[in-house]
Amino acid sequence: MECPQHAKQVNDQVAAVKEAIAAGKRVLVSLAPSFIASFPEYSPGQLLAALRRLGAAVIEETAVGAEVVSSFYRSSLETRDQTLISACCPVIVNLIEKYYPELVSNLAPVVSPMIAHGKLLRERYGDDSFVVFAGPCIAKIDEGSKDGSPIDAVITFEQLNEWLRHGGGVTQTDTFDRRAFANARYFPITGGILKSFVDCETTDTEMIAVDGIRQCMSVFSSLAHGEVSPRFIEALACDGGCINGPACGNAQSIAAKRVQVAKFVKDNGLKQRNPVSDSLDFTRQHQAIPLDYVSPAESQIREVMQQSGKLTKADEKNCGACGYNSCRDNAIAICQGMSSIDTCVPYMRSKAESFANIIVDNSLNAIIVLDERLTVQSFNPSAAGMFGRRQDLMKGRSLTDYMDCADVLSAMQTGNKVGGRRVEFPEYGLITEEMIVPVPEHNLIFLIFSDVTGQERRNRELEEMKQETVERAKQIINRQMHVAQEIAGLLGETTAETKSTLLELISILKEKGVR
């Protein structure tokens, strides 16, 4: 699961695992118990065989580490009066440390199943091994990279699935090198952590199981304000638990995934917990990391909300598209510099629509919007001015009442845009350039008419002027030709007379010379 605009991408550590395998290191894989609900195309045995073929030397269930955590929760409840909050989910731990620092002392002082299992693997196989955790959680990547972590690489199930696709098909089966206590396999589903160490009813107010980040925040707020005080709170950030993690790679329903987990628990899980060395330390101290932001004044909050069009309570959509639970929370974040007014989708949509309306309303082109029945849905003032001269252009009326729609029907049937067509409307005294834009996904048709009547009139006047000029030029040329012909005729007559006279003169002179 990644940002659709690729502004953020999940850190991919598959390359590091491949390098470790190529270097001949012993690669130990800790497989999260939600795997059973993330690879529907593989049976458990086939998945393990595929991992072996990729280069895994040892494959164990992370649920082996969950056994340690589960035992810690059980023993802590026997000696603790304060509410205990599960610390398996790194998102929950970060949430409390930053946003509910007053509840840090309620977090169970124990590592997560991933870290616990990593320590167990290193104890059994040595520190020179390369430990890989594979699971559905993106937050585990950050948890696994912290100082002192026994995990060398974290890969998501989506990344693993992609790697497996390039590894070819699998027909063989394999088994875990170490199986987990059956009830520890319940960890990835809502209520599963509780079920791993205690029997309780869903109506039990002493033991609360909550999933989904918003529901968790609601419970934490209630705990901080003294509205609830259970003995234990199982908290998982993802709706439905880890089986619905952001990188689980399976789009099946949460209910379907729960069924698969339940079946796997009953399959071949151990009846007893695995032995654990007393030399290993699984405790963890949580620290408050409160975000130091100054709370803005109420007047500042109201000013921001008014800027985004939240003038009344009814204007507050609380849609969550901005990433905050309410419009007020977003306004506070804007005041604190953590957000911007552009993150409000309804506001930006209203703003875009407002700009679009300004452009359409002030366009010199006539714009008419029709539905698939050629009924007028909307039009701008220019359209009313052009086609409302004989009768008012009205919404809900058929466009056929105003003009011939044969071209519109043709464009609607083909779905192709038609542009640059010259269309005359003698009844309106109009000459236009027409564009037809079908929008089939919304069953709408946009008609755009550019009034070129004045331009056509000028073009005609210019053409008439050209024709008149040509006619006048022809007349002048004809006159010139006539004059030239007359001059030529006169010159011919004069030349003949001159020749005759000169010949007579020569004849006379010759006669006198003879004498």
In order of their start, the domains of the chain are: 13-268 (no CATH), 298-351 (no CATH), 364-495 (3.30.450.20)
What's the pLDDT score for residue 514?
A: 54
Distances (CA, A) of 73 to 95, 139, 194, 195, 413: 20, 22, 9, 11, 67
The strands making up 130-135's β-sheet, listed across from edge to edge, are: 58-61, 27-31, 130-135, 153-156
- The confidence score (pLDDT) of residue 466 equals 87
Q: What is the mean pLDDT of the chain?
A: 89
Best CA proximity match to 419, nearest among 396, 435, 431, 443: 435
Contact 427, 464 (CB under 8 A): no
Structure-token match 């079920």, residue found: 195
Token output for 116: 């616990």
d(CA 195, CA 201): 10
C-alpha–C-alpha distance, residues 128 and 357, integer Å = 67
pLDDT of residue 426: 85
Three-class secondary structure assignment of 242-294: HHHCCCCCCCCCHHHHHHHHHHHHHHHCECCCCCCCCCCCCECCCCCCCCCCC
- Where would I find the beta strands (DSSP E) of 137-231? 153-156, 207-211
Q: How far apart are the first and last CA of the chain?
A: 135
d(C-alpha 12, C-alpha 4), whole Å: 17
pTM for the complete prediction?
0.66
CA–CA dist 273, 75 (Å, integer) = 15
Nearest to 336, CA basis, from 311, 302, 301, 299: 301
If 0-12 CB within 10 Å is exposed, 13-18 middle and 19+ buried, where does residue 125 land? Answer: middle
Structure token digits, residue 438? 């079908």
* Per-residue confidence (pLDDT) for residue 486, from 0 to 100: 84
Residue type, 486: E
The pLDDT value recorded for residue 159 is 95
Rounded to an integer, what distance in angstroms lies between the CA atom of residue 329 and that of residue 304? 11
Can you read off the two tokens belonging to residue 47?
A: 């998945």
> Could you say which residues of the chain have pLDDT below 70?
1-8, 168-169, 200-203, 389-391, 512-515
11-51 residue pLDDT tens: 889 999 999 999 999 999 999 999 999 999 999 999 999 99
At 310, the amino acid letter reads K
What's the token pair of residue 440?
Answer: 């089939």
- By DSSP bridging, strand 58-61 and strand 27-31 are parallel
- Distance between CA 83 and CA 208 in Å, rounded? 10
- pLDDT (tens digit per residue) in 53-108: 999 999 999 999 999 999 999 999 988 889 999 999 999 999 999 999 999 999 99
Give me 422's structure tokens.
């010259």
The whole-number pLDDT of residue 389 equals: 62
Q: Which helix (H) or strand (E) holds 58?
A: strand 58-61
Pairing of strands 84-85, 232-236: parallel
**183: which DSSP letter?**
G
Which secondary structure element, helix H or strand E, spans residue 360, and what is its range? helix 345-362
